[in-house]
Chains A and B, each alone.
Chain A
Amino acid sequence: MKRKDFLSSVVPLAASFNSMASGRMIIDTEKPAIIPPYLKKGDTVGICCPAGYIMLPDIQPAVMKLNEWGFNVKPGDTIGKRDFTFGGTDEDRTKDLQQMLDDKNIKAIMCARGGYGAVRIVDSLDLKKFKANPKWIIGFSDVTVLHSHINLNHRVASIHSKMCNSFPEDWSKAEPVQIETIESIRKCLSGEKMNYLFTPNPNNKTGLAVGELVGGNLKTLESLSGSKSDIQTKDKILFVEDTGEYHYSIDRMFWNLKRSGKLSELKGLIIGGFKIKPDDAGEEFGKTLMEIVLEKVREYNYPVCFDFPVGHQKDNFALKCGVRHTLAVHLNECRLTETR
């Protein structure tokens, strides 16, 4: 091996890594995030696939609903594209999302679905135009990569909510909670002040917190740890949710949050839905989700609430990441309210 060449080629990489590391300290996450303009009737929503693939008919319920709300819809090139599990190759997905980020006529970008793949393209995106003309990015699960990345690096708010694949096909047969959750996306997009009242859990730690809301899928957050998209949680209200993980894995992820310093300076913690994979016979973990969470935050004083309606479930309400909220956890009432 040409050791000399190797060394010289590694210098800029190492330098950029260092500047990245120190750059992270310079980013002022205490500065309020930019709120993209809310949407008016006649505005256009783009739909694209930064991760998993989706076929055109599967976005129709969302297209119809968005039209009904008075928005135009522009499906991107990745809709109907497929490269194995992905909605097109990395290049296809980058190009589609990049176009939508840059197109001034697109006021919001709804990710068609999650899956896996946003992390493969996030470093290829050029967010200069987006920063100059911020717009709402909408999605959850794997899209947590985008929420976390743009919150940290560009300080732009975004919407954590259901995506196209969760819009009911037949609205007349939809359950009230499906209608309400989809409706919450419209409320977010059109600038309504969000206000959620939810059922107290006896394990909650009561208290009041005011801070910027950040969060998303726990596994995805763990996978961003140590990277330049790593979520910053100091003085924030953090929400997490997950699906299909074993108890031990959830425990390990909460240890990652704790050991990487993400739990010590929170204003509040919101635990959303956790669809837990049952322990294998003879491998019982012996701790519930509540126990797993509470033992990690025992020494902190901030409010903690369980059962918030966010996650891989029907009652998955839209949340504005990067926007200030008040979390009130009382014995008889829990409330999350957008605070301007």
Chain B
Amino acid sequence: MIKIPPYLKKGDTIGITCPAGYMATAKAEKCIETLQKWGFEVMVGKTLGSRSKNYFSAKDEVRRDELQAMLDDENIKAILCGRGGYGVGRIIDQLDFTEFSKNPKWVIGFSDITVLHAHLFTKIETASMHAPMANAFNEGENKFVRSLHEAIIGKKAKYSCAAHPYNRRGIATAELVGGNLSLLAHLTGTPSDINTKNKILFIEDIGEQIYSIDRMMYQLKRSGKLDGLAGLIVGGFTDMGDTERAFGKTAYRVVQEITAGYDYPVCFNFPVSHGKRNYTLKVGVAYTLKTGKKTSLLSEL
């Protein structure tokens, strides 16, 4: 049974850390301000706005220790990752989830944070939030940023989006799992790999070439991840590139073709992405996906 961490009350503390790429403090100011406005205390780790001169927010040990401290600190009720990038995979096996398991808390983020979501779901059996990170707050407090507020205070989500011509209609109720496709493919065969059987899987990606999306979808398929799904949610595939010799298909067409032989509902163009449209989704929590004629609905149970 997946553990659901406690939801937050006003006055609770949210820790902000950067377990992967570097982020300047200025880019997180709006986020901090908004979290405070929502009534939360904010504790900022030193990996945010660090003096790192390279890709990472800090050395592996520093990123690990800070995330570990936030996982262990009982006063921190949720951990918001400042940004993704790359780097969680380098420290994931060094984290100790003993305290966290006793006092689970919400871990929030997406993109590279997919590694944490998958690991928490598979190994620690704890739910987490795939959600906008600090930079998204700079867009203003839109409905996607607000969806995070609603999620952390325990309001049940009900999202809708327009039906896409590639959708397969249907209805499914199951636990939601997923995240960034590149990371899900990368985790395949590792101890953090997710079992997608009887789950609603959601995927999104950015900056990949179409052939690479195709290859990753084949990896999901050939590792048995597409066979037994309850449903599939296809989010944004933004900034897709193509090879000199054109692939001849869009990312959505690739996904549609590879899932054509199944009969579970498939919802394209769901607002989960590296773009502005990025609703908060709770990994490990049950939802009902309904793909109708005009609208797709995703409601938390």
Contact B248 A84 (CB under 8 A): yes
Given the interface pairs A52-B245, A223-B218, A225-B189, the reply to whether A85 lies near B86 with Cβ below 8 Å is no
Question: A-facing mask of B132-176, CB < 8 A → 1, else 0?
Answer: 000000000000000000000000000000000000011110000
Contact flags A88-123 to B (C-beta < 8 A → 1, else 0): 000000000000000000000000000110011001
Complex Cα spacing A225 to B188, Å? 6
Residues from chain B with Cβ under 8 Å of A279 in the complex:
55
Known: A116-B214, A225-B219, A286-B55. A1 touches B263 (CB 8 A): yes
Query: Which one, A1, A229, A256, contacts B172 given CB within 8 A?
Result: A1
Q: How far is the CB of A9 from chain B (nearest CB, A)?
A: 7
Contact pattern, A 1-37, Cβ under 8 Å of B = 1, otherwise 0: 1100110011001100100110000000000000000
Q: Is the CB of A1 within 8 A of B265?
A: yes
- B39 interface hit (Cβ, 8 Å): no
**Once the chains bind, are A255 and B223 in contact (CB under 8 Å)?**
no
Q: Within the assembled complex, what's the spacing in Å between the Cα atoms of A224 and B248?
A: 23
Does A248 belong to the interface (CB within 8 Å)? yes
Given contact pairs A1-B263, A256-B190, A116 touches B171 in the complex (Cβ within 8 A) = no
Chain A residues contacting B55 (CB-CB under 8 Å) are 248, 279, 283-286
B56 touches A226 (CB 8 A): no
B247 with A85: CB separation less than 8 A: yes
| Given A223-B185, A251-B90, A284-B54, A14:B248 Cβ within 8 A | no
Task: Report if A53 contacts B (CB, 8 A).
Answer: yes
Measured between beta carbons, the chain B residues less than 8 angstroms from A85 are: 211, 243, 245-248
Pick the contact of A260 from B53, B93, B189 — CB < 8 Å? B189
How many A-B Cβ pairs are below 8 Å?
112
Q: Is B286 close to A, CB under 8 A?
A: no
Contact A252 B227 (CB under 8 A): no
A41 within 8 A of B: no
Chain A, residues 207-234, CB within 8 Å of chain B (1/0): the string is 0000000000000001111111110000
With A10-B227, A228-B222, A284-B55 known as contacts, the answer to whether A84 contacts B247 (CB < 8 A) is: yes
Query: CB of B264 within 8 A of chain A?
Result: yes
Q: Does residue A83 face the partner (Cβ distance < 8 Å to B)?
A: yes
Query: A1-B170, A116-B211, A223-B219 known; A259 and B188 CB under 8 Å?
Result: no
B22 CB → nearest A CB, Å: 8
Answer whether residue B215 sits at the interface, using C-beta atoms and an 8 A cutoff: yes
Separation of A190 and B216 alpha carbons in the complex (Å): 37
Enumerate chain A residues within 8 angstroms of B222, measured Cβ to Cβ.
119, 123, 224, 226-229
B30 at interface (Cβ–Cβ under 8 A)? no
User: With an 8 A cutoff between CB atoms, is B197 at the interface?
Assistant: yes
- Taking a contact as CB atoms closer than 8 A, the residue among B53, B89, B193 that contacts A255 in the complex is B89
Cβ contacts under 8 Å, A1 to chain B? 169-172, 263-265
Contacts of B56 in A (CB 8 A): 286
Residues of B close to A2: CB separation below 8 A: 263
The answer to the question of B228 belonging to the interface, with a C-beta cut-off of 8 Å to chain A, is yes
Closest to A255 in B: B89
Chain A hits for B191, CB < 8 A: 259
Expressed in whole angstroms, the minimum distance between the Cβ of B294 and any Cβ of chain A is 18
User: Quick check: A256 and B246 within 8 Å, CB to CB?
Assistant: no
Query: Which of A9, A20, A120, A230 interacts with B189 by CB under 8 Å?
Result: A230
- Tell me if B47 is interfacial: C-beta within 8 Å of chain A: no
Q: State which of B89, B215, B224 has its C-beta within 8 Å of the C-beta of A119.
A: B215
A17 touches B227 (CB 8 A): yes
Q: Which of B230-264 contact A (CB under 8 A)?
A: 243, 245-249, 263-264
Which one, B54, B185, B219, B245, contacts A84 given CB within 8 A? B245
Contact B263 A224 (CB under 8 A): no
The answer to whether B190 touches A260, judged by C-beta atoms less than 8 angstroms apart, is yes
Instruction: Please give, as numbers and ranges, the residues of chain A lying within 8 Å of B215 by CB-CB distance.
Output: 116, 119, 223
* Closest Cβ–Cβ distance, residue B132 to chain A (whole Å): 22
Residues in chain B near residue A259, CB distance under 8 A? 89, 93, 189-192
Of B54, B171, B214, B247, most buried by chain A (CB within 10 Å of CB) is B54
Given A1-B171, A83-B248, A259-B192, answer yes or no on A9-B228 (Cβ-Cβ < 8 Å).
no
Answer yes or no: B186 CB below 8 A from chain A CBs: yes
In the complex, which residues of chain B have a beta carbon less than 8 angstroms from the beta carbon of A228? 222
Q: Which residue of B lies closest to A279 (CB)?
A: B55
Closest-CB distance, A207 to chain B (whole angstroms): 26
User: How distant is the Cα of A20 from the Cα of B227 in the complex, in angstroms?
Assistant: 13
Given A119-B218, A283-B55; 6 other pairs, CB 8 A cutoff: A1-B263, A17-B227, A83-B248, A123-B222, A226-B222, A256-B186
B residues adjacent to A (C-beta < 8 A)? 53-56, 86, 89-90, 93, 169-172, 185-193, 197, 211, 214-216, 218-219, 222-224, 227-228, 243, 245-249, 263-265
30 A–B pairs (Cβ distance < 8 Å), ordered by A? A1-B171, A1-B265, A2-B263, A5-B263, A13-B227, A14-B227, A84-B245, A84-B248, A84-B249, A85-B211, A85-B245, A116-B211, A116-B214, A116-B243, A120-B214, A222-B185, A223-B215, A225-B223, A226-B222, A227-B222, A228-B222, A248-B86, A259-B189, A260-B188, A260-B189, A283-B55, A284-B54, A285-B55, A286-B53, A286-B54
10 nearest A-B residue pairs (beta carbon): A84-B248, A286-B54, A225-B189, A226-B188, A226-B223, A226-B189, A227-B222, A259-B190, A1-B170, A260-B189
